Chain A
Amino acid sequence: MTQKIKCALIGSGNIGTDLIYKIQRSPVLEPVWMVGIDPTSEGLERARAMGLKTTADGVDGLLPHVEADGIQIAFDATSAYVHAENSRKLNELGVLMIDLTPAAIGPLCVPPVNLREQAERAEMNVNMISCAGQATIPIVHAVSRIQGVGYAEIVASLASKSIGPGTRANLDEFTYTTSNAIEKVGGARKGKALAIINPAEPPMMMRNTIQCLCDEEPDQARITESVLAMMAEVQKYVPGYQLVNGPLFDGKRVAVFLQVAGLGDYLPTYAGNLDIMTAAACRTAEMFAHDMLAGKLQLKPTAPTAA
């Protein structure tokens, strides 16, 4: 049997649970621990049923097992407020942290745009921004690599049933983190992110609209080609990432209308937002894992700091 990198998942909500499915399919990753805070939670029960070890004592319940169980990568799907502490504790044990909260204390990662750089720098904490960021920033980048984008704005419409309590209670953090990443990773000078939660039944597929204001008249052929090439890159890990309309050109504005269907692992296919986030996190971890297995990357514990 080929060797796999052992992983811990922190947070047993929608994202953490969907991650189990993604990681179990990975040729280089293996989910070993699920960390929760409520012993009666459905998420922990499901994780146990799927063969994971569980603790309801938060990250502190995991720490004593990190070394014995050889945990090298952790995924944090809790909240922006507790992420920094989780990351500090695990980094000190030499565990790489993939951050799925909006905390964004580490560099922002969108796999088809900048994953290679993160792995080469041997970062110990990588942030996945947000579901909307993963769905839209590749397109912003696809436009900005052709010509200057002064302003980029994205709208993510999400099915109500796909949004857990953590995201709901922290919409401002989502807005700040995603807007910032549109600039830092997408390459727009100014970025803005809007989120809409729609309760329609049957639930609507995740939709994303990306609009860029170019500095000059857009080069329609080159931008269209760049956008389509980028879509193909994302489709490698999210097959349900589809163009619905566009690129539409209107003066200096470029608009792209997308739909993201999920794989239907934990939540049904409408929850493309869940999939694109977990698939991106999994792909990120796999890139590091490949390097680790090839002996090219050795994770180093960070120096302890005061809590």
Chain B
Amino acid sequence: MSTHLKGRKVLLHDMCLRDGMHAKREQISVEQMVKVATALDDAGVPLIQVTHGAGMGGNSLQHGFALASNEEYLRAVCPLMKQAKVSVLLIPGLGTMRELHSAYDCGARSVHVATHCTEADTSPQHIAYARKLGMDTTGFLMMAHLNDPDGLAQQGKLMESYGAQTIYVTDSAGFMLPDDVKARVQALRSVLKPETEIGFHGHHNMGLGVWNSIAAIEAGASRIDGSVAGLGAGAGNTPLEAFLAVCDRLGIETGVDLFKLMDVAEDVIVPMMDHIVRVDRDSLTLGFAGVYSTFLLHAKRAAARFGVPARDILVELGRKKMIGGQEDMIEDTAMTMAKARGLL
């Protein structure tokens, strides 16, 4: 790679205490949250997301019940941060403004307001409300591979018009290749105001988290989501310490201490994992078939109950164009497939 990125400033946003909740079936304790967040803060990570995996309002049969409420997690973590800002996730239709306000009262100061990549117009109330609270506000366009670059740019423009200060290309399925990422970031850059930032949130399902993030930066992104040791849904998010090492080599400035981040990954996160989060048969299927990464563990549970292989269920969900939030359709699809195969 060339040195054309030398001196570029990029803001790292860690996801292991939010996206990582998916990989932990929402079972991260308040004590573990505090331990991880303080270690990340000490390593200089500027933004740390802390909530249920599905964000505000996430505690549900659909998305699992966490060990503590979002408020309990935030109240424990936020006051301990020396430099990091704590962020939350809000998906309209699941979370509400009341819950966002409550998170703000607990110390959250940044929010990803997330919609499917074609449904930005479900977010105007929430984005405007986040801005009114004075929060750093991001419009987070999920499953971005399901919209073409120009279409995605128009959705980003809508979110910008509601007040979003950053627009994210969110590769929820870990489906995109570097050129797909570049095309979408460039399309956004060409329509957004110069002061509006662009972010990229990757999943490592095809092993491209780091490369895709660099491609996003080359095309003009200035914020990158990742998670230490990749603790996140599917094969995890962009592994933040690996990404940081690449940034350091390229001269991209992040302000984060690489060795400290490596230590958090090795000494704190990996021992917490229930399974080693990595590219395997099922998580690779997510990336290959373009399926929402969070579906992975749900599909494995349905597979165990109904006797239909997880990979078959995931491919069928991809074919039926199910999107984030439709976790109920995993059990439904598994039952329908089991009936067709004479298993139920």
Using a CB–CB distance below 8 Å, which chain A residues touch chain B?
151, 153, 155, 157, 160, 165, 168-172, 174-176, 192, 194-201, 204, 207, 209, 211, 213, 244-246, 248, 253, 255, 257
Contacts and interface: CB of A to CB of B under 8 A. Distances in A.
Nearest to A151: B61
Contacts of B336: 244-245
A165 B121 contact: yes
Contacts of B146: 199
A21 to B, nearest CB: 26
A194 B60 contact: yes
Contacts of B57: 175, 192, 194
Q: Which 7 A-B pairs have the closest CB atoms?
A: A200-B321, A209-B328, A195-B93, A196-B325, A199-B118, A245-B335, A257-B332
B320 interface: yes
B250 interface: no
A248 B60 contact: no
B140 to A, nearest CB: 15
B335 A198 contact: no
A170 B118 CA distance: 17
Interface size, B (range)? 20 to 34
Contacts of B329: 157, 207, 209
5 contacts: A169-B124, A171-B125, A194-B94, A198-B322, A257-B335
Contacts of A157: 326, 329
B96 A255 contact: no
B122 A197 contact: yes
Contacts of B335: 245-246, 248, 257
Nearest to A165: B121
Interface of B: 57, 60-62, 92-94, 96-98, 116, 118-119, 121-122, 124-126, 146, 320-323, 325-326, 328-329, 331-332, 335-336
A253 B96 CA distance: 26
Given A196-B93, A197-B93, 5 more contacts: A155-B328, A168-B119, A169-B125, A196-B326, A204-B320
Contacts, number: 96
A169 B121 contact: yes
A157 to B, nearest CB: 6
Contacts of A195: 93-94
B323 A196 contact: yes
Contact of A198 (B62, B97, B323): B323
Contacts of A175: 57, 93, 96
B332 A209 contact: yes
B92 A171 contact: yes
Contacts of A245: 331-332, 335-336
Contacts of A253: 61
A213 B122 contact: no
Contacts of A246: 335
A62 B98 CA distance: 36
A165 B121 CA distance: 8
Nearest to B118: A199
Contact of B62 (A151, A168, A170, A194): A194
Contacts of A199: 116, 118-119, 146, 323
